[in-house]
């Protein structure tokens, strides 16, 4: 997490030195547009993640130094972030002027009219339109934050893939290569199938035990009481077996069970669950208590030879010697896939994993919309993106890929940015379900019973499919 070097008092010094450059040569616009809002404080709430910390410690102070508008960014836990933002928007109290919108929740927010149409707001207030801000600068990830008419409701601030990381140093070690070939009868290279991945995982777990090393063959985001495990299965594992959109067929009366035409409890879903549980069982002992955060920590501590890891953690794992023990030793690859999945993804009929990320949106209840619109444009400029992408690997603007800083950092990350640019189209965000949270909450308790061994994968998925359909019937989606 290179962002650590930018924290604290040094952030203000950095802001003072770079604010004019980050204003894109248009400092006078920002100063003039902000004149009516001197002394105003805008408040935001977001998750305590590398991209958000960069906003709080670097971009917000820069903006304040340039405009006189104070920006207070509250960083908190994932669940508290949603709870605080949703309660504020439900009550219309206007505590927050900005809220973090994760890609998978945007459809629920739009259905409840929680957010301000940013495209429309700027069109209605042309004096606030920054010359360095243009929605066309964003990658196609911004499309997840638009309505059916193409209006933008959130300025993208992070976008990354859930990728297959592996230890280049271990995979390239001659002794390890020889031992693996003797055991498996093939060369040690990153897996392309689940069977290959499992074979490598078992080999390294055994290797760690045999050599008294704190090394295991895979990570597993398998917390037995946190939704991170639910998301790992549905968004990262199940698609690699050909189970898309949580196994719910929106075009077939929102069916989830195989009996009604869904795939949530079908043979591919069961195979995905059994494979994932078998990987958890040979992962480091912290796996049953691991969320997305702990998986990154596990890999950065050198405790796993390979794993599926959120790209927002890839930067500090691969390049920050103050946080990671595997700097310079990390390779990046596509996740292992079942037969037919790649072809489905290339044709647009499926996807191979999760394209994650989020945006900052303006609640309908914000009391400082004009000042907030200025800040949201500020963080959406091309000019602020390169240092942000190096501090916290995320790309939201197409121009970012070609910046010399990002090109150089791409090499340190083992080609991670190349993977996003060239293969990002194979991944997908969460399905466009306004009922996202309701189905997750209805099925998650059953899912945890599978993880705890109280239900078999088949029985548990059968119950989850039934619970999903019951919930969708209650909500009026299933007729």
pTM of this prediction? 0.86
From the list 19, 2, 20, the residue with the least C-alpha distance to 60 is: 19
pLDDT given for residue 25 in this prediction:
57
Cβ contacts of 402 within 8 Å, gap of 6 or more:
none
**Beta bridge pairs of residue 41:** 70
Residue 1 to residues 165, 268, 296, 390, 473: CA-CA distances in angstroms? 16, 36, 11, 9, 44
State which CATH number among 1.10.490.10, 3.40.190.10, 3.50.50.60, 1.10.287.90 fits the domain covering 2-160+356-426: 3.40.190.10
DSSP string, 295-336: HHHHHHTT-BSEEEEEGGGHHHHHH-TTT-S-TT-EEEEPPP
Using DSSP's 3-state secondary structure scheme, residue 221 falls into coil
- pLDDT per position in the chain (479 positions), as tens? 223 333 333 333 343 344 444 455 589 999 999 999 999 999 999 999 889 999 999 999 999 999 999 999 999 998 899 999 999 999 999 999 999 999 888 988 999 999 999 999 999 999 999 999 999 999 999 999 999 999 999 999 999 899 999 999 999 999 999 999 999 999 999 999 999 999 999 999 999 999 999 999 999 999 999 999 999 999 999 999 999 999 999 999 999 999 999 999 999 999 999 999 999 999 999 999 999 999 999 999 999 999 999 988 888 899 889 999 999 999 999 999 999 999 999 999 999 999 988 999 999 999 999 999 999 999 999 999 999 998 888 999 999 999 999 999 998 888 999 999 999 999 999 998 999 999 999 999 999 999 999 999 999 999 999 999 999 999 999 99
With 0-12 / 13-18 / 19 or more C-beta atoms within 10 angstroms meaning exposed / middle / buried, residue 17 is exposed
pLDDT given for residue 23 in this prediction:
52
Residue 62 to residues 66, 140, 358, 370: CA-CA distances in angstroms? 6, 27, 22, 18
Same CATH topology for 2-160+356-426 and 161-347: the answer is yes
Fold of 161-347: D-Maltodextrin-Binding Protein; domain 2 (3.40.190)
pLDDT given for residue 427 in this prediction:
96
Q: Where exactly are the structural domains of the chain?
A: 2-160+356-426, 161-347
pLDDT given for residue 49 in this prediction:
85
pLDDT given for residue 212 in this prediction:
97
pLDDT given for residue 250 in this prediction:
96
pLDDT given for residue 57 in this prediction:
96
């Amino acid at each position: 997490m290179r962002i650590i070097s930018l924290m604290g008092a040094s952030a203000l010094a950095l802001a003072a030195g770079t604010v004019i450059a980050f204003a894109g040569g248009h400092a006078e616009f920002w100063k003039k547009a902000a004149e009516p809002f001197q002394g105003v404080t805008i408040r935001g709430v977001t998750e305590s993640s590398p991209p958000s910390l960069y906003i709080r410690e670097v971009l917000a102070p820069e903006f304040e130094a340039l405009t006189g508008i104070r920006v207070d960014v509250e960083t908190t836990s994932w669940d508290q972030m949603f709870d605080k933002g949703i309660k504020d928007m439900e009550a219309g109290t206007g505590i927050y002027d900005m809220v973090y919108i994760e890609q998978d929740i945007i459809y629920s927010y739009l259905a409840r009219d929680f957010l301000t149409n940013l495209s429309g707001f700027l069109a209605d207030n042309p004096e606030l339109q920054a010359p360095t801000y243009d929605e066309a600068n964003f990658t196609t990830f911004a499309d997840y934050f638009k309505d059916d008419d193409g209006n933008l409701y959130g300025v993208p601030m992070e976008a990354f893939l859930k990728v297959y990381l592996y230890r280049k140093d271990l995979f390239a070690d001659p002794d390890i290569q020889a031992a693996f070939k003797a055991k498996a009868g093939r060369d040690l290279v990153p897996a392309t199938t689940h069977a290959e991945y499992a074979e490598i995982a078992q080999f390294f777990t055994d290797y760690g035990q045999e050599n008294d090393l704190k090394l295991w063959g895979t990570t597993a985001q398998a917390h037995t009481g946190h939704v991170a495990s639910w998301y790992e299965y549905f968004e990262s594992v199940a698609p690699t077996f050909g189970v898309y959109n949580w196994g719910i067929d929106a075009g077939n009366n929102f069916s989830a069970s195989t009996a009604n035409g869904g795939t949530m409890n079908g043979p591919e879903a069961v195979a995905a669950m059994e494979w994932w549980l078998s990987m958890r069982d040979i992962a480091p002992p912290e796996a049953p208590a691991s969320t997305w955060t702990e998986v990154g920590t596990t890999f950065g501590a050198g405790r796993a030879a390979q794993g599926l890891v959120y790209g927002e953690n890839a930067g500090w794992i691969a390049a920050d010697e103050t946080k990671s023990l595997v700097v310079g030793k990390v390779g990046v690859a596509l996740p292992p896939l079942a037969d037919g999945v790649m072809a489905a993804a290339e044709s647009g009929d499926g996807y191979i994993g999760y394209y994650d990320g989020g945006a900052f949106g303006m609640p309908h209840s914000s009391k400082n919309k004009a000042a907030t619109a200025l800040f949201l444009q500020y963080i959406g400029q091309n000019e602020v993106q390169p240092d942000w992408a190096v501090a916290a690997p995320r790309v939201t603007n197409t121009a970012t890929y070609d910046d010399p800083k990002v090109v150089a950092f791409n090499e340190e990350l083992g080609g991670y940015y190349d993977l996003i640019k060239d293969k990002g189209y194979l991944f997908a965000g969460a399905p466009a379900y306004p009922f996202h949270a309701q189905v997750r909450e209805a099925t998650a308790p059953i899912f945890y019973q599978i993880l705890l061994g109280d239900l078999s994968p088949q029985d548990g998925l059968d119950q989850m499919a039934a619970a999903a359909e019951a919930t969708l019937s209650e909500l009026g989606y299933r007729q």
